[in-house]
Amino acid sequence: MTDTLILLSAITILLLISGVHFYWAFGGTWGSSVVLPQKEGGEQPIFTPRVFETVSVAILILAACCILLIQANMVPFFQANFFSEVGSYIVASVFVLRAIGDFKYLGFFKRIRQTKFAKYDTKYFSPLCLYLALSFVVAVIF
C-alpha cells in the first residue's frame, strides 16, 4: 500500500512538473521567479532558458513519468522489463545528482544560499528530487 502511494504521488508530481514546463515554454510566468538559479547578491538568473530547452525538459520529465508507470506495472499493455528497470535507475541517479547539485548554485551542497531560488531549492526542490529518486527505486524493488 505504501509503495503504491509513493508511486502514484511521484507520477502525479512528474505530470504536474512537466505540465508547468510546457506552460512556461508557451509564455506562462507563474512561479518562474523562483525556479532559476540566481547570481549572488541579486535576483538576476544565471541563465534564461529558451523555449526549445524548456520543452525538452518537459518532454524528458514526461518520459521519466512513462518509465515509472511501466516499471510500476501501471500500464496494462507494457510489462516492466530490463529497459524500464535500467531507465528507472538512470532517472533515479539523475534526480540524486540534481539533489546533490553543482556545489555553487543548486542542490544541498550549494555555496550561494541567500537568493530566493536557493531558499526554495533547499526547502522544496532538492528534497523533492530525493523523493522522486526514491520513487524510482521503489518501483524497481516492489
Residues 30-75 pLDDT 10s = 999 899 999 988 778 999 999 999 999 999 999 999 999 999 999 9
Question: CA 120, 109, 10, 5 torsion: positive or negative?
Answer: negative
pLDDT > 70 in the chain, percent: 100
What pLDDT sits at residue 77?
A: 93
What pLDDT is attached to residue 26? 96
On whether the CB atoms of residues 123 and 117 are closer than 8 A, the answer is: no
Tell me what the mean pLDDT of segment 115-125 comes to: 96
Backbone torsions φ then ψ of 127, nearest 5 degrees: -60, -35
Burial of 112 (0-12, 13-18, 19+ CB in 10 A): middle
Q: Which region holds residue 75: left if phi is over 0, alpha if psi is between -120 and 50, else beta? A: beta
Confidence of residue 17 (pLDDT cuts 50, 70, 90): very high
The pLDDT of 110-136, averaged and rounded, is: 97
What pLDDT score does 42 carry?
73
Section 8-21 average pLDDT: 98
Distance CA 58, CA 46 (A): 20
Domain positions in the chain are 2-28+48-141
